[in-house]
């Protein structure tokens, strides 16, 4: 692990956010995902990659409203049973995410944006911004669902 980066990130969290963050960080570390800590205006950011040369898998951020995790699923997007089996609170957060302007053809986005994600949730087609579609508060109540999502992305 990147020289104590997870511990430094966890130290910045409120006591109530630490257990959920710690459980997800442990899952990612055991899955062999490299991590990096960066400082941002709102606090530290801890990011995990899919492998040494892979893209982002999860990013933990600190916000005024509390710590959050942004997931970048790939395999889970094709697994309708996994997505449809998520708790309603998680599905509601996904449904509230911003649409991808490039996918729905409603305007231009940042030219560096790698495009949003397309998937189906409860039979409804979704075309959402990849940065807001899977962005959740770190709460123990959501932990089982977040663990299932992340586990589906890790190597078997």
pLDDT score recorded for residue 1: 46
Domain count, the chain: 1
Instruction: Return the axis-axis angle of helices 143-153 and 18-30, rounded to nearest 10°.
Output: 20
pLDDT number for residue 107? 67
Looking at residue 43, its pLDDT comes to 87
Q: Give the SS3 label for residue 62.
A: strand
Greater pLDDT, 110 or 23: 23
Q: Which of 3-7, 12-16, 19-23, 104-108 has the highest mean pLDDT?
A: 19-23
Q: Are strands 124-128 and 117-121 parallel, antiparallel or unpaired?
A: antiparallel
0.85 exceeded by pTM: yes
**Domain membership of residue 52 as a residue range:** 5-153
pLDDT, one tens digit per residue, over 8-66 is 999 999 999 999 999 999 999 999 999 999 998 888 999 999 987 788 999 999 988 88
Report the distance separating Cα 48 and Cα 65, nearest Å. 22
Alpha helices in 35-142 (DSSP H): 80-84, 88-95, 101-104
Q: Which two tokens stand for residue 71?
A: 């997931």
Q: What confidence category does residue 103 fall into, taking pLDDT thresholds of 50, 70 and 90?
A: confident
For residue 156, the model assigns a pLDDT of: 66
pLDDT in tens, 119-136: 999 999 999 999 999 999
């Amino acid at each position: 692990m990147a020289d104590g980066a997870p511990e430094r990130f966890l130290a910045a969290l409120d006591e109530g956010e630490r257990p959920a963050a710690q459980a997800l960080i442990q899952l990612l570390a055991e899955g062999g995902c490299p991590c990096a800590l960066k400082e941002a205006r709102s606090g530290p950011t801890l990011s995990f990659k899919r492998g040494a040369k892979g893209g982002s898998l999860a990013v933990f951020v600190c916000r005024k409203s509390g710590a959050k995790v942004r997931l970048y699923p790939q395999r889970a997007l094709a697994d309708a049973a996994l997505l449809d089996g998520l708790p309603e609170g998680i599905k509601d957060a996904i449904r509230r995410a911003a649409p991808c302007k490039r996918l729905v053809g409603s305007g231009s986005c940042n030219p560096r944006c790698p495009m949003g994600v397309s998937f189906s949730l409860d039979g409804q087609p979704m075309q959402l911004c990849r940065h807001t579609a899977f962005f959740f508060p770190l709460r123990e109540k959501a932990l089982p669902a977040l663990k299932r999502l992340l586990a589906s992305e890790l190597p078997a």
